Amino acid sequence: MKTDTMQRLFFFLLTALFGFLALLTRAEFALPDFVIRYGGDYLWGIMLYFLLCALLPSFVGFKNLALALLVSYSVESLQLYQADWIMAVRANKWGGLLLGHGFLWSDILLYTLGNISGFLMGFAALSIIGNIKAVKPSAARHSSTLKETLCDSTPIPKPLND
Q: How far apart are CA 5 and CA 95, in angstroms?
A: 30
CA distances from 76 to 39, 67, 102, 130 (A): 16, 14, 8, 35
Sign of CA dihedral 34, 40, 42, 43: positive
Q: Is the pLDDT of residue 148 over 80?
A: no
**pTM of the shown model:** 0.74
Please give the residue that has the higher pLDDT: either 68 or 91.
Answer: 68
Q: How confident is the model at residue 140 (pLDDT cuts 50, 70, 90)?
A: very low
**Structural domain for 108, as ranges:** 3-150
Residue 161 lies in a domain: no
Across 90-111, average pLDDT: 86
What percent of the chain has a predicted confidence (pLDDT) above 70? 79
Q: How far apart are CA 82 and CA 102, in angstroms?
A: 9
Across 116-144, average pLDDT: 69
Residue 106 lies in a domain: yes
Q: Is the pLDDT of residue 117 over 90?
A: yes
Q: Is the pLDDT of residue 55 over 70?
A: yes
SS percent in the chain: helix, strand, coil, step 5: 75, 0, 25
Check: CB of residue 123 under 8 Å from CB of residue 61: yes
Q: Is the pLDDT of residue 95 over 90?
A: no
Residue 99 lies in a domain: yes
Q: Is the pLDDT of residue 49 over 80?
A: yes
End-to-end CA distance of the chain: 51
Residue 156 lies in a domain: no
Residue 155 lies in a domain: no
Residue 160 lies in a domain: no
Q: How confident is the model at residue 132 (pLDDT cuts 50, 70, 90)?
A: low
Total number of domains constituting the chain = 1
